[in-house]
Amino acid sequence: MEEDITALPASGPMLSRKDFVSDQLVRWCPGCGDFAILATIQKLLPSLGIPREKYVFVSGIGCSSRFPYYMNTYGFHSIHGRAPTFATGLKCVRPDLQVWVVTGDGDGLSIGGNHLIHALRRNVDIKILLFNNKIYGLTKGQTSPTSEQGKKTKSTPQGSVDYPVNPVNIALASEATFVARAVDTDLPFLTEVLRRAALHKGLAFVEIFQNCIVFNDGAWAEVSEKALRDDTTLTLQHGKPLVFGKDKNRGIRLKNGFVPETVEFEPGKPPRDLLVHDEKAPNATLAHLIAHLERPYFPVPQGVFRSVERPVLHELIDEQVAQAKKAGSADLQKLLAGSENWVVRSA
Ligand SMILES: Cc1ncc(C[n+]2csc(CCOP(=O)(O)OP(=O)(O)O)c2C)c(N)n1
Ligand code: SF4
């Protein structure tokens, strides 16, 4: 990167988008959805008032994982699927840094699925952005864990037999404290979701629907095109009933206990039994139910599914270390030769 950012004063002049643009040639295909996400983040960061030298972008492997090269911040293009693990270590030793992870649906949910789940459950104070294009882009179009059943690719010429995962539900099941979803074609909405993620203390997970124009073009067309999205998406608002449609005349309610259904009503007169969103609910049951709303029967929910508080990993570790120090120094030799050891003898 062209300049030494450590030389900048922590409270220097107001930064602009340009300050976050690196001198690296962007190597994504023309028209790739990654461009819009990159531009949105470069525009958002200066408004957060965090010094540039405090940002670190960590990624794994994939087209999306080239992201750190294009940010004029610290960054680490790490190992396939392991970005959350690198980020966990970094945040624990340098809690003053704002650590962002950029991963793809292949990187984060195939090879890195295990690493992702454990970062989520530990409430590491990092932001994880999962660019979901429902395909492996970098390796030229094989199915990923989010590809739909029946998807024909070079690796699945007769159609994939695997059932896809829903990243938001994985994050909720792993007890992430902030879980959200946005689309790469609605930039004002994406900006607000990312702003909330940035301000959340604890792990913030954001799934971003991203178009891979070369190997899976139009995978999200139904929910990303302006002309369609009013009727195919549901924007979540805390404390508000689940209402959608161009005329705001449809909503979601439960029937037979726990089964969601769509109901139509006169605009401005929603029925009283519509489900009301609660992103602060102490358990994730409602968020799970909402996250399971999928096409073609329901609109696709976007926005913040869950935002709750829980102690963050590095603070818990620091507390434990402080307590252990208070208890006095330990004798390693005594520990190794303690009462719980055995001598194994041959017969
Ligand atoms: C250990 C290892 N296994 C597999 C690969 C091949 N590989 C590189 S990127 C990738 C998946 C990329 O897909 P995704 O994370 O969805 O990112 P995208 O390129 O679509 O942004 C795979 C399988 C590799 N580089 N290393
Ligand atoms: S292959 Fe797809 S995801 Fe990768 S840069 Fe090209 S359009 Fe983007």
pLDDT at 342: 83
CA-closest residue to ligand 1 atom 4? 80
Give the residue, 334 or 174, on which the prediction is more confident: 174
Atom of ligand 1 nearest to the CA of 61: 9
Atom of ligand 2 nearest to the CA of 33: 8
Residue-wise pLDDT for 232-286, tens only, equals: 999 999 999 999 999 999 999 999 989 999 999 999 999 999 999 999 999 999 9
pLDDT beyond 70 at 5: no
Atom of ligand 1 nearest to the CA of 107: 15
Is residue 130 in contact with ligand 1, taking CB distance under 6 Å? no
pLDDT at 12: 55
Report the candidate in 83, 90, 103 with the shortest Cα–Cα distance to residue 55.
90
Cα gap 244→255, rounded to integer Å:
18
CA of 201 to the centre of ligand 1 (A): 30
Is residue 144 in contact with ligand 1, taking CB distance under 6 Å? yes
**CB–CB of 105/63 below 8 Å?**
no
Is residue 112 in contact with ligand 2, taking CB distance under 6 Å? no
Mean pLDDT of the chain: 95
pTM listed for this prediction: 0.94
Cα gap 23→341, rounded to integer Å:
58
Testing ligand 1's pocket by substitution, the residue of 64, 102, 136, 211 carrying the most ligand atoms inside 8 A of its CB is 136
Phi/psi region, residue 303 (left: phi>0; alpha: psi -120 to 50; beta: rest), is left
List the strands of the sheet with 127-132, edge to edge. Answer: 74-77, 55-59, 98-104, 127-132, 204-209, 178-183, 300-307, 233-235
CA of 143 to the centre of ligand 1 (A): 11
**CB–CB of 278/286 below 8 Å?**
yes
Cα gap 253→121, rounded to integer Å:
30
Residue-wise pLDDT for 181-234, tens only, equals: 999 999 999 999 999 999 999 999 999 999 999 999 999 999 999 999 999 999
**CB–CB of 190/183 below 8 Å?**
yes
pLDDT beyond 90 at 10: no
Residue-wise pLDDT for 153-173, tens only, equals: 999 999 999 999 999 999 999
Buried b (16+ CB within 10 A) or exposed e, 318-342: eeeeeeeeeeeeeeeeeeeeeeeee
Is residue 59 in contact with ligand 1, taking CB distance under 6 Å? no
Residue-wise pLDDT for 289-304, tens only, equals: 999 999 999 999 999 9
